[in-house]
Structure 1
Amino acid sequence: MENIAGKTALVTGASQGLGRVIALELAKAGCRVIVNYANHSGNAEKVVAEITAAGGTAEPFRCDVSDEPAVHAMFAALEERFGGVDILVNNARIDPWRREASMSEGEWFDRVLSINLKGALLTSFAFMPKAMERRYGRIVNVSSVRAFRAAEPNMIAYGVSKLGMHGLTRAFAEQGAPFNVTCNTVAPGMILSENIAKRLTPEKYAEECSAIPMRRGGTAEEIADAVLFPIRNGYVTGETININGGMYYAP
């Protein structure tokens, strides 16, 4: 497994939830971590403080990944300050349970895909040229088990956005392979993040767990471990790592 100490890692949507834990684990592995956020500067600062208190190196960076000029500006700034980005984790997403009541189906679909899918497309396009030039790069796209399951009406946009991540992975894996640039997908099931208690009652949580063969949700640390695997292993590319307690058995 490769030593990634000293690499610069950009984690999108890293101010809370799974992104926060991925950032913490990359910092523990010795990476300089760029904690990307769009709206929650206070949360991002807390993640940076948590990393630095543990002896790691991190900086916050505000950027809405659905904004193409802002994405290019972010990568240009990181190139100038740190010599570029070595590792990109596309984790930013819209919480599918926080739709505004006034939004139409089309408005919601556009909004979800603009962050969840278009954002990953834009950051990957911005990342690839310098990574190929340096002949090193790692992209991990965070998808979901919902990419493979029939969605209830309120989750269609989310499921479609996560399924699209797999198309991005194959495309950028093919492009990057001759240059030692890999791209992989991690598809988690239910994650026990800080928001799970806000969304599910104990009864609803038990009901959700009854559909999981392992009868529990996964910890964010378990998912982050799956993210770090294809970053450290340079021979894995174009693959999907399913980590969902048995909710979906891939062929």
Structure 2
Amino acid sequence: MTEIKGKIALVTGGSQGIGRAIALALAEAGCRVMVNCAHNSANAERVAAEIRDKGGLADPLLCDVSDEKAVEAMFDSLEPQGGAEILINNARLDPWLRRPGMSEGEWFDRVMAVNLKGAFLCSEAFFRRAKSRKWGRIVNIASVRSFRPAEPNMIAYGVSKLGMHALTRAYAHNGAPFGITANTICPGMVITENIGKRLTPEKYAEESAAIPLGRGATSEEIADAVMFPIRNGYVTGETININGGMYYAP
């Protein structure tokens, strides 16, 4: 098991929900955490401040991960401090919060730009810099939706999350000679602070009834799964399903 205390960890989409829980878990393990968000710097600062209040090290980092130049600048900014050593590709567009008026094509392009292209751009920027350090961890946050047939409003999301498995395999293969591992975490339904914006109580009850364990996960349970392939350097190219049994359920 690898000691990760003192390493710099970048969590994209780290200002709320699963990203926040992952950032807190990394900080508790002794990492210096970069809390990324695209727009709401106040939320990112709140998470960073929460970590600092507990004695950890954290800074907010504003960057739209779909913007290639901005991604390069973000990773360049970390090099004087030693460079990012752990990358959590968690940033995504919430499929339940699509803006009215967007065409199907516009929505598909935007979801791919953030969820998949953003993960690629960050992974590529990370990989090029981590090779010389001979150590690195990439964890892609996908979804059980990458395995299950999607209803119409979830098609773009499911396709974007399925693509992250290909990223994982590519960076696991190409990263192995340099001590860089890449793995995928696939959560099912997760109870975050925004669950009420997505699901009515009736819809939540319906979704929970379809899960063998009868409930959604906490963000902390997902963060716990993320920490395993970060600490264990012999796990690479793998998918960790954490979904209460949704994957095997009929």
Structure 1 counterpart of 2:22:
22
Structure 2 counterpart of 1:184:
183
Q: Is the 8 A contact 2:188 2:216 kept in 1?
A: yes
Local SS of the residue matching 1:61:
strand
Superposition deviation, residue 147 in structure 1: 0.2
Structure 1 counterpart of 2:141:
142
1:77 and 1:210 mapped to 2: Cα distance? 46
Structure 1 counterpart of 2:4:
4
TM-score with structure 2 setting the length: 0.98
Structure 1 counterpart of 2:151:
152
Q: What's the CA shift string for 1:109-151, capped at 9, x where partnerless?
A: 0000000000000000000122111100000000000000000
Structure 1 counterpart of 2:205:
206
Structure 2 counterpart of 1:167:
166
Q: Is the 8 A contact 2:97 2:198 kept in 1?
A: no
1:249 and 1:50 mapped to 2: Cα distance? 37
1:198 and 1:161 mapped to 2: Cα distance? 22
2:155 and 2:12 mapped to 1: Cα distance? 23
One-letter amino acid of the structure 1 residue matched with residue 171 of structure 2 = F
1:199 and 1:92 mapped to 2: Cα distance? 17
2:105 and 2:196 mapped to 1: Cα distance? 29
Specify every segment of 5 or more residues in structure 2 that has no aligned partner in the other structure, as ranges: none
1:205 and 1:154 mapped to 2: Cα distance? 17
The 5 A counterparts of 1:203-242 are 203-242=202-241
One-letter amino acid of the structure 1 residue matched with residue 185 of structure 2 = V
Q: What's the CA shift string for 1:65-119, capped at 9, x where partnerless?
A: 0000000011111112x11000000000001011112110000000000000000
Q: What's the CA shift string for 1:189-242, capped at 9, x where partnerless?
A: 000100112222222111101100000000000000000100000000000000
1:48 and 1:73 mapped to 2: Cα distance? 20
Local SS of the residue matching 2:162:
helix
Structure 2 counterpart of 1:94:
93
Q: What's the CA shift string for 1:3-62, capped at 9, x where partnerless?
A: 110000000000111101100000000000000011111111100110000000000110
Structure 2 counterpart of 1:39:
39
1:161 and 1:234 mapped to 2: Cα distance? 27
1:229 and 1:114 mapped to 2: Cα distance? 28
1:214 and 1:35 mapped to 2: Cα distance? 31
Specify every segment of 5 or more residues in structure 1 that has no aligned partner in the other structure, as ranges: none
One-letter amino acid of the structure 1 residue matched with residue 154 of structure 2 = M
1:163 and 1:248 mapped to 2: Cα distance? 14
One-letter amino acid of the structure 2 residue matched with residue 233 of structure 1 = N
One-letter amino acid of the structure 2 residue matched with residue 222 of structure 1 = E
One-letter amino acid of the structure 2 residue matched with residue 87 of structure 1 = I
1:101 and 1:87 mapped to 2: Cα distance? 36
- Give the 4+ runs in structure 1 shifted more than 6 A: none
State percent identity of aligned pairs.
Answer: 70
TM-score with structure 1 setting the length: 0.98
1:233 and 1:208 mapped to 2: Cα distance? 33
1:136 and 1:209 mapped to 2: Cα distance? 40
Superposition deviation, residue 249 in structure 1: 3.0
2:195 and 2:99 mapped to 1: Cα distance? 19
Local SS of the residue matching 2:193:
coil
Q: How many residues align?
A: 249
1:10 and 1:56 mapped to 2: Cα distance? 14
One-letter amino acid of the structure 2 residue matched with residue 167 of structure 1 = A
